Structure formats: structure tokens, C-alpha cells
Structure 1
Amino acid sequence: MAKFLLILHVLAAVIAIGPVTVAASMFPKTLRRAQSAPGDREALTTLRTLNRICRVYALVGIAVPAFGFATASAMGVLGDAWLIASIVLTTAAAGVLALLILPAQEGALAATGTPASRLVPPSRIAMLTGVFNVLWATVTILMIVRPGSTTGA
């Protein structure tokens, strides 16, 4: 059962977190293009699509920790330090996405094409996205290396 849950956990991570990471990373560059050419409808459409990908896959991403907890429980590692660190980092990544990146994207979309469009700097969204990506990369490393593991990894 643990192997099956682990497969579901890894698949959920790849399917849910991958698209958010890519779409959120593409958003700032597209926002710069939209801000430099206010009439660029293609850039605005792309921004809306990237934001939608981030919102939808953020919801799908809830499956990642759900399967993760089930897997950890089946493996008997719920109290391990590497897992607790991963839970804390995952919570931080989710908070950065839900409380900072998505609202910043929404604000940028609302302001695009208006005189206020320069008030949402793409560099701030890029920085937040970088923090999000580093958090997820760290969680991935912890999941692979698992300090103290006896698997030899």
C-alpha cells in the first residue's frame, strides 16, 4: 500500500506543482511585455491563461500533501525530522502561492492596460515566484535524500 500511495504522491506532485512552477515563472516576463505594449491583446490573453493555470493547479496541488501524509503514515515516518521540515516548507510554499503570488497576479491583471499598470512590478512577482520555486526544490531534495534513510540514497 505504501508504494501505491507513494506513486500517487509523486504523480500528484509532478502533475500539480510542475505546471504552477512553469506558469508562475512565465508570468513576470509576459507582464513586462504587456506593460510595455498596453494594446498587446496576445500578452493579456497569455497573462490570463498563466494565472488560470496557477489558480487551478494550486487547487489540484492539495492532493500532494494529502497523498504525502497518507504515504508517510503507511511508511511510519510521520515523526521524522526530514518529513517535518518538508511539511513546514510545503506550508510556506503554499502560503507564498496563495497569499502573495496569486494576489499579485490578480492585481497585475486588473491593472494591465491602465495607467496604474506600472504599480505592479514584474520583478516583485518574479522574486516571489523564485522563493516559491526554491521552497519546492528544497522539499523535492528532502524527499529524495531523506536524511537518515537506510535506503543508501
Structure 2
Amino acid sequence: MLEHVLLSVHVLAAIVFVGGSAVATSLFPRYAPAPAGEGRSRSVAVALHRITRGYAAFGLVVPLAGMILAGVQGRMGEIWIIVSMVLTAAAALLLITQIYPRQRDALADRGEGDPARLRQLSMFAGIYNLAWAIVVVLMIVRPGSGQGA
């Protein structure tokens, strides 16, 4: 019963919070203030910035529930769990050190943003999303576990 609850919390939190932050980080550069402001919306960019921060904070439930579940199941030493934890930490680090600060800086520019910086922000969002996509595949395939999903 505990395993089912932990798995449900882990998966639902990943869908809602990681998915929400992934979408927000991807969309932010499209709406961030820039010199060629066509189709730009500062209010949308501000909302996406808040979503990035809030959903990422609530997203801490995902690795927490996942690590507890892996511990309960005795799987902490399996390679797919270890690689998933490393990728999760890398994604979090990328969000904290690159994506969120660059979003904040883009909003501070108030329409004078450097398009090259927005392209870099898009690239970092893509890497962030790729890390999460790899984690999802690892959760499904479970390489080295001896049993598939």
C-alpha cells in the first residue's frame, strides 16, 4: 500500500510540477521582453517566471518521493535510479544557476533584452527538458534492473 501511495505521489507530482516547469521554461523566451517585441507579452513572461519558480519548488516532492520509494523497494543501488538522481540534480542545478536567473534578468531588461541571451535561455530550457525526458525513459525501461516496467 505504501509503495502505491509513494509511486502515485511521485508520478502525479512529476506530471504536474516538473511538466509545468518544463513548459514554463520552454515558453518563457517566446514572451520575454525583447527589442523586436512582436507577439511578446511581459505579463505572460512574468507569469511563466512565477510558474518556473513555484512549480520547481513544489517539484522537490518528485525526487523526495522517488528516493523514499526506491529505498522502500530496496532499489537505491540500481543504475537507472542512480542515473535518474544524477540527471535530476543536474536539471535542478541548471534551473537554479542558469534558467531562473536568466529569466529574472530578461524581465529586468523591460524590452531591451538581447535576442542572443534569449536564444541561450531557450537552449538551457531544451537541455532541462531533455534531462527530464531521459529520466522518464529510464523510469519506463529500467536498464539493469532485471525487470522492465
Specify the alignment match of 1:134 in structure 2.
130
Contact 1:20 1:53 in 2 (8 A): yes
- Report the AA paired with residue 131 of structure 1: I
In the TM superposition, residue 31 of structure 1 has moved relative to its aligned partner by 2.2
1:93-112 aligned at under 5 Å gives the runs: 93-112=91-110
Amino acid at match of 1:99: T
The aligned counterpart of 1:118 is 114
Q: What is the TM-score with the length of structure 1 in the denominator?
A: 0.89
Give the number of equivalent residue pairs.
Answer: 148
Which amino acid in the other structure matches residue 51 of structure 1? H
Give the CA RMSD over aligned residues: 1.9
Q: Which residue of 2 aligns with 1:83?
A: 81
Preserved contact between residue 107 and residue 120 of structure 1 (Cα < 8 Å):
no
4+ aligned runs moved over 4 Å, structure 1 = none
Deviation at 1:152, TM superposition (A): 4.0
Once the two structures are superposed, what CA deviation does each residue of 1:103-152 show, in whole Å capped at 9, x if it has no partner?
Answer: 000000001234xx227621010000000000000011101110133444
- Letter of the structure 2 residue corresponding to residue 123 of structure 1: R
8 A Cα contact 2:141 2:148, kept in partner = no
Structure 1 residue 15: Cα displacement = 1.1
Alignment of 1:1-153 (within 5 A): 1-31=2-32, 34-37=34-37, 43-114=41-112, 117-118=113-114, 121-153=117-149
Structure 1 segments unaligned to the other structure (5+ residues) = none
Preserved CA contact (<8 Å) 1:104 1:120: no
Question: Structure 2: which 5+ residue stretches go unaligned?
Answer: none
SS of 1:51 mapped into structure 2: helix
Q: Which amino acid aligns with 2:61?
A: A
Secondary structure of the structure 1 residue equivalent to 2:77: coil
